[in-house]
């Protein structure tokens, strides 16, 4: 997991393979499948997910939640492969499993269930129901940052719903415990959502980024970049790690997209994938944006 989080995908894969050779644990198989999926090894990922599903019993709620997660990822693989019928079948299975767990959970776990339901409903073309699920997730755990991060990062690559994204963004900004760096990330994400929805830039987003850009921290530099007060070369010059470089690459791609240069943006999104920082939101958003555009062709 440490190697995967550090962007060392090949070494992470080697260690995961060695781990499951010693103990074919469903959790390890799931994580290996996720790594393989995010690095484009779809056939291998599908096999690992299937084996994880076979080894996961139905004895308890945690087991059922894991099965739901595995089924969802199997649907994601089918989507990336362009297998629409298989994707729909897996998503429906996963949605049924998540839905059956609704009455047994509350708090953050309840929020997790509703978040996953919302994403699946959206992928199945049931957007209004997805909005209801997302609203429920925020009600279950209004102080939990991951609720807002999951919904907004999903809306970055999903069919753009600027009104829903704005509601989520505003509610996130009202959370007193939300760290300033996450105010920056969420605002950068909604800028792209606005562009994908053909909406003009919102002054309140730029003003917030300009205010947060006064910080000398990395997130302050990202805020200045998002506000248009720092150029890409200067942003890259202060990136001090692979993670920061990955973020700089991604947000330059979103700037190009917002500016209307979609071809250059896609090339930049591919550079994000080349970092292999598979655990970063920016990596996964870039990957899903490229899949979405490929499926639209």
Supply the pLDDT for residue 289.
Answer: 95
Supply the pLDDT for residue 140.
Answer: 93
Cβ atoms within 10 Å, residue 40 = 11
User: Strands, E, within the chain: which ranges?
Assistant: none
User: How far does CA 145 lie from the centroid of its chain?
Assistant: 13
Residue 212 lies in a domain: yes
DSSP 84: H
Pair 118, 164: CB distance under 8 Å: no
DSSP 104: G
Residue 71 lies in a domain: no
Q: Could you report the per-residue pLDDT of 4-46, keeping only the tens digit for each?
A: 999 999 999 999 999 999 999 999 999 999 999 999 999 999 9
297 pLDDT higher than 70:
no
Q: Could you report the per-residue pLDDT of 57-81, keeping only the tens digit for each?
A: 988 888 999 999 999 999 999 999 9
Residue 86 lies in a domain: no
Q: Could you report the per-residue pLDDT of 246-280, keeping only the tens digit for each?
A: 999 999 999 999 999 999 999 999 999 999 999 99
Residue 269 lies in a domain: yes
Longest dimension (CA), the chain: 56
Which domain covers residue 226, as residue numbers?
A: 143-297
Q: How confident is the model at residue 294 (pLDDT cuts 50, 70, 90)?
A: confident
Q: Could you report the per-residue pLDDT of 149-202, keeping only the tens digit for each?
A: 999 999 999 998 999 999 999 999 999 889 999 999 999 999 999 999 999 889
Residue 133 lies in a domain: no
Q: How confident is the model at residue 2 (pLDDT cuts 50, 70, 90)?
A: very high
Residue 50 lies in a domain: no
Residue 191 lies in a domain: yes
Structure tokens at 72: 């969802």
Supply the pLDDT for residue 292.
Answer: 86
Distances (CA, A) of 164 to 159, 171, 208: 11, 11, 19
Q: Could you report the per-residue pLDDT of 214-255, keeping only the tens digit for each?
A: 999 999 999 999 999 999 999 999 999 999 999 999 999 999
103 pLDDT higher than 90:
no
The Cα–Cα gap between 147 and 141 comes to 7
User: Dihedrals φ, ψ of 241, to 5°?
Assistant: -155, 165
Residue 179 lies in a domain: yes
| Total tally of structural domains belonging to the chain | 1
């Amino acid at each position: 997991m440490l190697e995967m989080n550090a962007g060392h995908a090949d070494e992470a894969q080697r260690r995961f393979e060695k781990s499951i050779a010693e103990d074919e644990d469903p959790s390890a198989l799931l994580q290996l499948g996720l790594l393989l999926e995010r690095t484009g090894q779809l056939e291998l990922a599908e096999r690992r997910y299937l084996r994880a599903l076979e080894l996961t019993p139905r004895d308890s709620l945690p087991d059922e939640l894991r099965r739901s997660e595995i089924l969802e990822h199997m649907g994601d693989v089918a989507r990336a492969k362009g297998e629409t019928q298989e994707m729909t079948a897996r998503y429906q299975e996963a949605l049924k499993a998540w839905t059956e767990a609704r009455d047994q959970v509350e708090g953050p776990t309840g929020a997790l269930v509703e978040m996953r339901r919302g994403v699946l409903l959206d992928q199945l073309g049931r957007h209004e129901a997805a909005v209801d699920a997302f609203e429920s997730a925020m009600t279950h755990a209004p102080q939990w940052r991951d609720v807002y991060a999951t919904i907004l990062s999903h809306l970055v690559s999903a069919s753009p719903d600027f009104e829903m994204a704005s509601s989520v963004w505003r509610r996130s900004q009202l959370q007193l415990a939300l760290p300033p760096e996450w105010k920056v990330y969420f605002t950068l994400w909604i800028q792209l959502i606005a562009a994908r929805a053909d909406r003009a830039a919102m002054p309140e987003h730029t003003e917030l980024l300009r205010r947060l850009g006064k910080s000398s921290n990395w997130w302050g530099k990202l805020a200045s970049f998002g506000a248009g007060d720092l150029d890409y070369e200067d942003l890259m010059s202060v990136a001090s790690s692979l993670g920061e470089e990955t973020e700089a690459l991604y947000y330059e791609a979103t700037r190009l997209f917002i500016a209307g240069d979609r071809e250059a943006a896609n090339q930049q999104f591919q550079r994000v994938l080349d970092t292999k920082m598979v655990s970063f939101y920016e990596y996964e958003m870039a990957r899903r944006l490229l899949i979405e555009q490929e499926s639209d062709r």
